[in-house]
């Protein structure tokens, strides 16, 4: 019985609080149920010293000003080993694979989002 | 089974909406192992050996010169993506398209995508088997002696350019034109399981088989309307998608309920026929509306529209649906008075169903991924139909390449309508001038070249312009040449949006004033006719970021 309730809780989400009540109306789930692969985020860096930092400009106005200053601070105050600068061809679409690949070796990436 | 005790089995073969079907079909083939181990995108996956003679293709003599042979399916998004590039290639080289689908689907594909190359069918998949392809699109570069020089499956710009070079053509694909550099294709039709025999008619709406929707049960004592209102809604009550209502809704189409029509950005949820039907029920659609909803979901996920960006931007954009053709009257779409309003069940429920699909399947929750700063009332429902009977010119879908009798839908990433009153002007110039002043404000006044616009002419304004003998194209060119932003608007505002980009703008004279031209070309301004026959009110609707780097209008047949 416990198994049955647990399974029901898994399937019906918020309906789980109503376990034990008689079920009647049946609905087709209209929500997204596509299986997805979940990735675990990497551990946070304790220090930036000696690390490689990627700076991604999404090509919005002013992004270069922000990232120029950030690069300067990273080099002078945080002593990063290197900075990788790259840019999306358009802010209106996801980054193409070639841009992702340029950032792949970085220990951390900072993205200049908007204007 | 994909489904075990109601739990969807998680697997992720490829970011492709036909991946599930491909996976299962390939499991039965020895190539699957080879594919898993070796499958770089540029491996040909065909037993045809390079340098060996290609199988005979009807109408192609081996000694008649080099040619590129392309196998495609009409419902394969990657094949559709490749067509504009193949059209370019066909200007300087011989390209032969081979459709794996039936006449109706092939003709619709040819008409819709305006293919510039010869297309022939492959009845019984005779050629597909002879070339032994596994995926579409499959490209075979044949030398002048009929031998296979190069083969490739899927879409890849660098391969297309390489083949173009070998055919003595200039490159056809730019790196950053808004289309991904490469994209995997779909499984060849002749390898798909067919319920009525391998030579049976190709499914028109079938794309892939998705995970069946789970069943949710509402207990006695819980009001189903309240439950659905809380769980699925757009802030308004919805009709509970009960199994009985879904069954009635599915009677409107012949497609199998687990077929995937598209993957809806930004979360790329599988829009199966039954999930589309569930959202259609909630929106209040009649079963016949499924005829429109299936192509609509395909269209909204077309990469040219860039739904990923439209659904996640801070801008106002929402997909505006424009319906054309006989379906307007068959399903009672409103196109007379209150064309944008709450006047007809068809407009209201179709627009709402699309929005519910984008919310519930696409995952663009207005309190989450959809980051629009102010939003758009069109996100409840945004669907109009053209008043073709009051349009003195060709209907909009004819301008977009369809026959008048073909029903079609168009999608435009749109702001809310901006009304223009012009009740006293008597000439086309004066009416269009009034509209051009509103057009100049699209996106923001000082920014030019950034977005496209839709002009919705009222029947009375259209008549005034037409009566003077003007064509729609003349009206569009007049608007293009007379819409600009005076240079003085930039004085004292060096940091304002648009001011820093003036070096890219084109300077023109409008009525003696030095101005920057607002739009990139006359084609950036689209004109439709809608609304009641009384009232000289038209509307301008601004778009989102225009062109291949943003969102492009798409038109699909119904």
**B399 and B412 Cβ atoms separated by less than 8 Å:** no
pLDDT digits (tens, 9 = 90+) for B3-47: 222 222 222 333 333 333 333 333 333 333 223 222 333 334 445
pLDDT beyond 50 at B472: yes
Q: Which is more confident, B50 or A39?
A: B50
- Does residue B219 sit at the A interface (CB-CB below 8 Å)? yes
Number of domains in chain B: 1
The structure's pTM equals: 0.67
DSSP sequence for B368-426:
TT---SS--GGGT--EEE--GGG-SS--HHHHTT--TTS-EEEEEEE---EEEE--S--
The minimal CB distance from B242 to the residues A7, A25, A37 is found for A25
Domain assignment present for residue B445? The answer is no
pLDDT digits (tens, 9 = 90+) for B348-377: 999 999 999 999 999 999 988 999 999 999
Which two three-digit tokens encode residue B114?
Answer: 């305006």
At B483, is the pLDDT very low, low, confident or very high (cuts 50, 70, 90)? very high
**B447 and B501 Cβ atoms separated by less than 8 Å:** yes
Whole-angstrom distance, CA of residue B410 vs CA of residue B400: 9
Cβ contact B219–A98 (<8 Å): no
What are the residue ranges of helices labelled H in B39-196? Answer: 77-90, 103-113, 126-131, 157-166
DSSP sequence for B90-135:
HTTS-EEEEE-S-HHHHHHHHHHHT--SEEEE-GGGHHHHHHT--E
Residues of B in contact with A114 (CB under 8 A): 314
Which of A6, A22, A32 should one mutate to test binding to chain B, selecting the residue with the greatest count of B CBs within 10 A?
A32
Q: Please report the residues numbered 59 through 88 in chain B whose beta carbons come closer than 8 angstroms to any beta carbon of chain A.
A: none
Mean pLDDT calculated for residue range B479-491: 97
Q: Is the peptide bond before B157 cis (omega within 30 degrees of 0)?
A: no
Nearest to A19 by CA among A2, A1, A4, A5: A5
Nearest to B414 by CA among B278, B290, B553, B528: B553
Sign of the C-alpha dihedral, residues B526, B529, B531, B537? Answer: positive
Whole-angstrom distance, CA of residue B53 vs CA of residue B48: 9
Q: Is the peptide bond before B44 cis (omega within 30 degrees of 0)?
A: no
Report the pLDDT value the prediction gives residue B59, as an integer from 0 to 100: 79
Domain assignment present for residue B64? The answer is yes
- Does residue A6 sit at the B interface (CB-CB below 8 Å)? no
Domain assignment present for residue B35? The answer is yes
The minimal CB distance from B220 to the residues A24, A29, A31 is found for A24
Domain boundaries along the sequence of chain A: 52-112
pLDDT digits (tens, 9 = 90+) for B96-144: 999 999 898 899 899 888 899 999 999 888 888 888 888 899 999 998 8
Smallest CA–CA separation between A60 and chain B, in Å?
A: 12
For residue B165, give the 3-state DSSP assignment: helix
**B491 and B516 Cβ atoms separated by less than 8 Å:** no
Supply the ipTM of this predicted assembly: 0.73
Domain range for B123:
19-191
Non-local CB neighbours of A17 within 8 Å, separated by 6+ positions: none
Domain assignment present for residue B125? The answer is yes
Cβ contact B218–A25 (<8 Å): yes
Cα–Cα separations (whole angstroms), residue B28 to B18, B132, B245, B337: 16, 16, 37, 58
Q: What is the CATH number of the domain that holds B112?
A: 3.40.30.10
């Amino acid at each position: 019985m416990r198994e049955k309730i647990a399974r029901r809780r898994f399937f019906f989400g918020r309906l789980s609080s109503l376990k034990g009540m008689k079920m009647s109306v049946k609905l087709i789930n209209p929500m997204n149920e596509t299986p997805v692969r979940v990735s675990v985020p990497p551990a946070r860096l304790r220090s930036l010293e000696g690390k490689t930092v990627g700076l991604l400009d999404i090509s919005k106005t002013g992004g270069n000003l922000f990232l120029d200053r950030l690069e300067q601070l990273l080099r002078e105050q945080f002593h990063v080993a290197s900075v990788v600068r790259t840019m999306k061809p358009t802010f209106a679409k996801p980054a193409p694979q070639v841009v992702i690949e340029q950032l792949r070796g970085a220990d951390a990436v900072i993205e200049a989002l908007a204007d | 089974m994909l489904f075990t005790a109601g739990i969807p089995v998680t697997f992720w073969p490829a970011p492709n909406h036909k991946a599930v079907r491909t996976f299962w079909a390939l499991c039965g083939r020895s190539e699957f192992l080879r594919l898993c181990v070796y499958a770089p995108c540029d491996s040909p996956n065909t037993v045809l050996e390079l340098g060996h003679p290609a199988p005979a293709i009807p109408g192609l003599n081996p000694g008649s010169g080099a040619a590129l042979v392309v196998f495609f399916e009409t419902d394969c998004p990657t094949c559709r993506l490749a067509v504009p590039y193949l059209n370019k290639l066909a200007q300087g080289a011989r390209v032969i398209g081979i459709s794996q689908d039936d006449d109706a689907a092939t003709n619709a594909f040819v008409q819709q995508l305006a293919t510039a190359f010869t297309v022939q069918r492959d009845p019984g998949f005779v050629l597909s088997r002879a070339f032994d392809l596994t995926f579409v699109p499959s490209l075979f570069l044949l030398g002048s002696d009929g031998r296979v020089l190069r083969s490739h499956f899927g879409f890849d710009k660098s391969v297309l350019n390489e083949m173009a070079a070998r055919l003595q053509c200039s490159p056809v694909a730019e790196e950053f034109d808004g289309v991904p550099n490469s994209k995997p294709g779909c499984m060849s039709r002749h390898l798909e399981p067919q319920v009525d025999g391998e030579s049976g008619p190709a499914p028109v709406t079938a794309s892939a088989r998705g995970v069946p929707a789970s069943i949710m049960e509402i207990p006695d004592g819980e009001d189903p309307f309240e439950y659905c209102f809380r769980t699925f809604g757009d802030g308004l009550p919805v009709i509970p998608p009960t199994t009985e209502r879904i069954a009635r809704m599915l009677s409107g189409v012949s497609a199998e309920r687990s077929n995937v029509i598209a993957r809806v950005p930004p979360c790329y949820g599988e829009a199966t026929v039954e999930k589309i039907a569930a959202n259609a029920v909630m929106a209040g659609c009649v079963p016949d509306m499924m005829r429109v909803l299936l192509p609509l979901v395909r269209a909204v996920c077309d990469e040219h529209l860039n739904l990923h960006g439209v659904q996640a931007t801070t801008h106002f954009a929402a997909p505006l649906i424009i319906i054309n053709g006989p379906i307007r009257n068959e399903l009672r779409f409103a196109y007379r008075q209150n064309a944008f309003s709450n006047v007809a069940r068809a407009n209201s429920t179709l627009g709402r169903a699309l929005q519910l699909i984008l919310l519930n399947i696409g995952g663009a929750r207005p309190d989450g991924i959809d980051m629009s700063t102010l939003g758009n009332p069109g996100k409840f429902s945004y669907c109009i139909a053209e008043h073709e009977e009051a349009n003195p010119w060709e209907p909009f879908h004819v301008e977009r390449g369809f026959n008048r009798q073909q029903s079609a839908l168009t999608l435009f990433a749109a702001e809310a309508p901006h009304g223009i009153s012009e009740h006293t002007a008597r000439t086309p110039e004066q009416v269009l001038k009034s509209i051009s002043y509103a057009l100049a404000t699209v996106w923001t006044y000082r920014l030019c070249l950034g977005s496209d616009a839709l002009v919705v002419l009222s029947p009375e304004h259209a008549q005034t312009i037409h009566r003077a003998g003007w064509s729609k194209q003349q009206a569009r060119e007049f608007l293009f040449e007379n819409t600009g932003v005076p240079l003085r608007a930039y004085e004292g505002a060096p940091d304002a949006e648009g001011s820093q980009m003036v070096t890219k703008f084109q300077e023109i004279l409008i009525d003696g004033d030095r101005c920057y031209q607002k739009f990139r070309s006359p084609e950036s301004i689209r004109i439709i006719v809608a609304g009641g026959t009384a009232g000289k009110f038209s509307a301008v609707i601004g778009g989102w970021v225009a062109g291949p780097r943003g969102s492009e209008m798409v038109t699909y047949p119904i």
